[in-house]
Amino acid sequence: MKAKRIAGEKAAEYVKDGMVVGLGTGSTAYWAVKKVGEMVKEGLNIRAVPTSEETKELAEDLNIPLVSLADVNYIDLTIDGADEVDSNLNLIKGGGGALVREKIVAFHSKKLIIIVDESKIVDKLGAFPLPVEVVHFGADKTLITLEKFDCQPKLRKENGELFNTDNHNYIIDCNFEVIENPKKLNNELNELPGVVETGLFVEMADRVIVGTNEGELNIIE
C-alpha cells in the first residue's frame, strides 16, 4: 500500500492552479485523488473529469469541482493507474473495469502520468489478462471470435454475476501471456464488431511514477 500511496501523492505534485485534471480509477489513483482533494481544501483551483462513477463519488466526497468532458476543450493532465507497464511505457489497463472512460480521458489529455507499484513493471505486456470491453448484444459470439486470437477469453464475473461496466457493457479478459506487438493487437481487436475498446494503451503515457514499499520513487519518462 505504501508504494501506491507515495506514487499517487507524488503525481499530485504535478497538478497546478487553473488546470483541468483527469482523475483515474483504482487503488493507486485513489491516493492521487485524495491528495488533490487535500490541495483543493487548501485553496488549489482546478476542475476535474473523473474516469468512473467510483472516482466521481470519491471526488465529490472530497469537494473537488467536477466538469463534464463535453464542457472543456482538453484536459491538461490525467493521473491514472495501470495493471502492466512495459519498457516503451505501453500499458494494460482495465483491471478495475474503467478502461473505456480512462482511454477517452487519456486521449484528450495533454499529459498522462501513470502511477504504479513496482510489481506492474514488465518487459513485455500480456501476463495480466487484457480487458476488452464488449457490448451485450452478441457477447457470446464476440467471445468465440476472440478465441481465434489464442488468448483464452473469459467473460468477467463479480460475485457470481456477469460484470457490467459504467457504460453497461461486459468485459472479456483475454490471457495472451505475451503480447509481442501491442499496437497491432489493439488495432486488430478494435476492428471486431462488438468490441468497444481494449485495455491496451499504446504510446499514450508521458511519465510513469513507480513507488516501492521501501519508500523509493522512480520516475520513467
- Where on the chain is the footprint of ligand 5RP (CB under 6 A)? 24-29, 80-83, 93-99, 102
Query: CA-to-CA distance for 51 and 2, rounded, in angstroms?
Result: 23
* Block residue for cell numbers 485524495: 34
Alpha-carbon radius of gyration of the chain: 17
In the complex, the smallest distance separating the C-beta of residue 116 from ligand 5RP, rounded to whole angstroms, is: 7
- Residue among 107, 99, 84 at smallest CA distance from 170: 99
Catalytic-labelled residue, pool 102, 147, 158, 188: 102
Amino acid letter, 99: L
Q: Is the dihedral of CA 95, 97, 98, 104 positive or negative?
A: positive
How many CA atoms lie within 13 Å of 31's alpha carbon, on the beta-carbon side? 21
Min dist. Cβ of residue 45 to ligand 5RP (A)? 26
Q: Is 102 a catalytic residue?
A: yes
Smallest distance from the beta carbon of 80 to ligand 5RP, in angstroms?
Answer: 5
CB nearer ligand 5RP, residue 144 or residue 162 = 162
Nearer to ligand 5RP, 42 or 155 (CB): 155
Q: Among residues 41 and 204, whose Cβ is nearest to ligand 5RP?
A: 204
Nearer to ligand 5RP by C-beta: 80 or 197? 80
Q: 29-41 and 2-12 helices cross at what angle (nearest 10)? A: 50
User: At closest approach, how far in Å is the CB of 172 from ligand 5RP?
Assistant: 14
To which residue does cell 482533494 refer?
37
Indicate which residues carry an active-site annotation.
Answer: 102
